[in-house]
Every structure is written in structure tokens, then in C-alpha cells.
Structure 1
Amino acid sequence: MGVQTTMLRSKIRLSCFAALMALALLLSGCGSAVTKTNAAGSSPTGKIKIVAAENFLGEVASAVGGDSVEVTSVITNPNADPHDFEPTAQTSKEVSDAQVIVYVGIGYDEWMNKLVTANSSPKTVINLGEGLLGKKDGDNPHVWYIPESMPKLADALAGGLGKIDPSQADAFKKRAQEYKNSLAPLMDLVAKLKQASPVDIAVSEPVFDYMAAALNLNVIDPGFAKAIEEEADPAPGDVAALQDALKEKKVKLFVQNTQAESPTVATIVDAANANQVPVVQVTETEPQGKDYLKWMTDQLTEVQHALGIK
């Protein structure tokens, strides 16, 4: 979920994917096994080649790797849907040639997992969801809303890159620490906004749920949110309960994923506005012109205003 409804979802057809895999293998050499280990070698420029599934992951790779890496982020368009992205032959070749792969995992960008599995060259594969955060398939995949996610990714990248190029290991660790230090405004804001006791809120989708948990904000409408995420009609009882909660101001704010248009959500937003319940707007993908830090802090600033915290 999390994209404008003008962009229709399309599932990857197995036959098309098989053809794509065959082309990728022709471009990179035959093979079937993937070793999640450290790869020697580099690009013709002498830099370590990194492919990140999403641009906010690529930002961390660039920050940690510095001039020693060449980073390609596959999804950079904020209106693209990572769930159902269909990789091109060029994407397959980039993944084949890369020494380091970074992706979310837990079913979010499964296409990347398939591309890696179909390729035989050894790589350092960093899976943010399962590998670093201990999540599993079926868990909420929006793990970049966990405040500790990017710091953990920075450390993992420093360790992986240091094994590929031991001569730069200390430099990678230093840059990882510098990147983590740069996130101080975000961490400070999370600490400032964390509630002493649970505060009830409602959401249009579970995009923001991890951050809500970090702030001790309790989501009261998981059934409604899950239905909207799955592009299904929420149960009438769930809609009625949410409308009542807004009318009676039982929730402190309503979090709207603005990338998912829905007549039902539009009605709920209207109800929130009519009852003076603040609406906090969030997105699933990184907005154009923002980096991860600004993306997150801008959204938390909206939460700050909604909670009335100075």
C-alpha cells in the first residue's frame, strides 16, 4: 500500500520474472547459489558497488561508504510502490554486478530477494527487517519508522564494507558514527514527544505504527487500518467506531497516509477536521527533495503540534 490509487498495483507474473532472471544470468554469468558473505573486487572505478532497493537506504550507504563506494538506489520515485515494483533488465544487471545489496525484506521488496537469489556471485546482503531488526514475514514492513533502524543499518554497512576493504574499515566506522550523530535531531524529537502514559490515536494505515509505538501512542483502529492497507472496505462496525471516536474526541490525532487515496479515508479526514481532531500527514516513501532526517522530523513536528507540545 502507500501509493496513489492512480498507480495500479500489478503482481509480478512468474513467467515474466523467469525471463528476467534468465536475462540477468546471461548478463552476469550462470549460477544459482547466493552466498551472503563478503565479496572481493570492485567497479572499474575501484569503488565498492552497492545497490539499495529504496533511496533512503541508499542514503545511508552513501554516507557510510563515502568516496569508496558507488551507490545505486533502485526506487527513487516517491510515487512508486516497492511492494509491486517490477525490476527491469538493467536493475537485474545492477544487482548482479553489485558487491553489497541493501533492502527492507519481510516481503516488502520481495523482488530484490528474488533477484539476489537468482544470482550466483557472492555478495554482502543486508536485510533490514529480518537481519537487523528481527522481524519476520507478516510483520509490519514499514521498519524505517523504527527510530533505531537507520543507526543499525549504518553499523551493519560499516562492518560489511570493512570486510570487503579492510584498509578502509576504520574510515567506514567513523563515517557510520558521523551519520548516527547526524540523526540526533530525530532522536531528540522522539525523546521529547514520548508520552509518559499511552495516548490513543487513530490511523488510516499502519505506515506510522512503529513510530507511534516509540512515542507511546496507542493505535485504536488496527482493523480499519489493515483493511485500507489491503485496499478492502473496512467493516462497517470499524468505520462507525472510528467516527464515534473522532466525534467524541477519544483520540488525540488522526494519522493519514497521503499517498493512498480512498473515499472512506477522505470521509474520516473530513470527520476529524469537523471535530477539531488534528490530522497528521505522513508518507510511505521519501518525499522528493527531502532526506531521511528531514522526512522523519517534518512528520514528527506535525505530531508535536497535534499533541500541543512546545
Structure 2
Amino acid sequence: MTLIVPLTARTLRAMAGRLCGYVGLALVAALWPLASAHAAPIPVVAAESTYGAIAQAIGGPYVQVSSIIQNPNVDPHQFEATPQTARSVAHAAIVVMNGLGYDDWMRKMLAANPAPKRVVIVAAALDPALVMPDQNPHVFYDPRVGALVAQRLAALLQQADPAHAADFKRNLQAFEQSLRQVDGVVRQLAAQHPGLAVLATEPVYGYMLRQLGWRSLGDTFQFNVMNGTEPAPRVVARYEDELRQHRAALLVYNSQVSDPLTQRMRGIARQSGIPMVGVSEFAPPGMGYTAWLLSSLHAVQQTLAKGGR
């Protein structure tokens, strides 16, 4: 026997309600995997691996960091971008660069690949008061600049990914805590060798020397070499004299550059018994920013302890 239920307006409304309920549950079930899945990592591009190391420390697994220059043997002043580099920059949500003419190739790529929502962090512009009067572009050797980059990154990542804001905050705190190790070694070295006179083949380590309270000699020579300009004979003669007369207690050289002039100066320093230490412009792959700063400070500390031996 078939039961016929009259389709009154009330019955139709009840059936429609139940149908909507079933459809709603189906939609929730279908969308649930998407809602519970993690968002894709935020793409961050760093002009140099030094800044890429900071971005990785702050972003952790929630960022995808691409460092354009990470080979310690590459001269950033002569770097030429590739199509692959341009694609990485075009898809980046955040770009970190140095500024002060150090990586102008990045500015050109940003202009060639406009993206209204992309945010660019220029390390040297975060606090102009920290930039040396001579406009030395190697600001990454000032841990205060590294801290500012980390703080800016943390703020941007918290906005872009609120679900992991607490992680970014914790990572920033851990990063800032690690920089205290650098401060400790700097204070120790400054106390052991107050007001030390230092020569350098390039002004790469200038910001760290300022932190140490040490005097940098031969700055004209250093900037000539950095800019690829042939130093005047009198500048070269003065630099050689400072080496031969042992007016500096240490020679810092750029381990990424090997040209006849700097090799000659290193030879004179060796003959004069002046200790030498090489520093790089980039954190090597897999090394954190703090560890990179500490590695150069420890190298300086060990070199000075050995003296001219």
C-alpha cells in the first residue's frame, strides 16, 4: 500500500530545509580538507644569502627563501641577473636587498617585474643613522642592521600569515637572543685590543670595526679597490708604507677578491709580520646570520692571538 502525503506548503518548506541541510553538510565535508591544510609557504627572495639566512631564521617552515647570490666567490658589484632570477623576483611576496648601490641589479629587476602587493625591504634604509658617513655599503656586518631586517620581516610575515604570528614572534626573539653572543664577543675583543689600528684591502669589515671601536687606515685605497678604480700612486705608496712600518696590527682582506694589487699588499703584510684574516661578503649556504658574524670575529680573535707567527 502506498502512503500519499499531501504536499502542503508546510511540508514543502520542511523538505527544502532538510535538503539544504544535507547539501550544507556535503559542502562542509568537501571544503574541510582545504580549510585544515596549511597555507603555501610565503615566497621570500633575498638579493644576498646573508639576508636570506635572516629570512629563514624568522620565517622557518612557513617561508620559501630564495637567495640570489650565495656563492662566496661571486662579486656582487659585477653580478648579472638571469631569467631564472627574474622569475623568482616576479613571484616574490617579500624581497630583501642591501641598498646603497650594492645590489642595483635588484632594483632594475624590481622595476622590470612590477607587482603592486610585493614588499621590498632595503636594509640600509631601515635606519639611515646607522650608515657610515662614507656610505660604506656593507651594512650587513652591523648586527643592529641585521636585527632591524629581522624585525621588519617578522612584522610583514605576521600580517601575511596571522595563523603563525606566534611562531614568527618566537623566532624573532630567538634571533635577537642569538645576537647577544655577537655583542659579547665584540665587547671581549674591544677590551683585549682597545683602539686597534687596522688596514683592509676593501671596506667590507668596516661596520664591524666600528662596533669594535677600532681605527680603519687606508680608506681611500679600500674604496678604490672596491669600486674597481686604480688607486693613485701616492695612495698605493702610503698604504705600502703603513704595512712596512707596522702601523697596523691587522690586515683584513676580502676573501672573495683576488687581484694582483691586493695579493701584493698581502705579500707585504706577510713579509712585515702583520697578521691577516679573510672575511667574506655572504653567509655560506646552511650557515645562520649570527654564526656567520661569530665566525669572522673568532677568526680575528685567533689571528690576533697568534700574532705574526
Q: Does structure 2 retain, via aligned residues, the 8 Å contact 1:79–1:285?
A: no
Partner of 2:50: 56
List alignment gaps of at least 5 residues for structure 1.
1-43
Contact 2:143 2:179 in 1 (8 A): no
The residue that corresponds to 1:146 in the other structure is: 142
Secondary structure of 1:83's counterpart equals helix
Distance in 2, Cα, partners of 1:282 & 1:178: 25
TM-score normalised by length of structure 1: 0.78
1:233 aligns with 2:234: no
User: In the alignment, is the contact (CA less than 8 A) between 2:53 and 2:287 conserved in 1?
Assistant: no
**Partner residue of 1:205 out of 202, 205, 221:** 202
Shift of 1:72: 1.4
Deviations 1:154-210 (A, max 9, x none): 111111111112232222111111122233332211121125752211111111111
Q: Which residue of 2 aligns with 1:90?
A: 84
- Please point out which of 76, 98, 102 is paired with 1:104: 98
Aligned partners of 2:143 and 2:186: how far apart in 1? 8
User: Which residue of 67, 77, 101 maps to 1:73?
Assistant: 67
CA separation of 1:82/1:45 partners in 2, compared to 1, >3 Å: closer, same or farther?
farther
Q: Pick the structure with more helix per residue.
A: 2
For 1:206, the aligned partner's letter is P
Seen in structure 2, the aligned counterparts of structure 1 residues 84 and 269 have a Cα distance that, compared at 3 Å, is closer
SS in 2 for 1:126: strand
Confirm or deny: 8 A CA contact 1:201 1:254 kept in the other structure: yes
The verdict on how the C-alpha distance between 1:192 and 1:57 changes in structure 2, with shifts beyond 3 A counting, is same
Map 1:1-310; keep pairs closer than 5 Å: 46-118=40-112, 119-134=114-129, 135=131, 139-195=135-191, 197-287=194-284, 290-308=287-305
Counterparts of 1:120 and 1:179, CA distance in 2: 30
> Deviation of residue 211 (structure 1)?
0.8
Match of 2:77, SS state, is coil
The Cα of 1:287 is off from its aligned counterpart by 3.9
**Two-structure CA RMSD over aligned residues (Å):** 2.4
Structure 1 residue 303: deviation in Å?
A: 1.8
Matched residue SS, 1:72? strand
Question: 1:53 deviation in Å?
Answer: 1.1
| CA distance 1:194–1:56, shift in 2 (3 Å) | same
**3-state secondary structure, aligned to 2:151:** helix
If you compute each CA radius of gyration, which structure gives the higher value, 1 or 2? Answer: 2
Corresponding residue for 2:31? none
Against the structure 1 CA distance between its residues 227 and 136, is the aligned structure 2 distance closer, same or farther, given a 3 Å change threshold?
closer
The alignment of Structure 1 onto Structure 2 pairs a total of residues equal to 266
Contact 2:46-2:96 at 8 Å conserved across structures: yes
- Identity among equivalent positions (%) equals 34
CA distance in 2, matches of 1:101, 1:164: 14
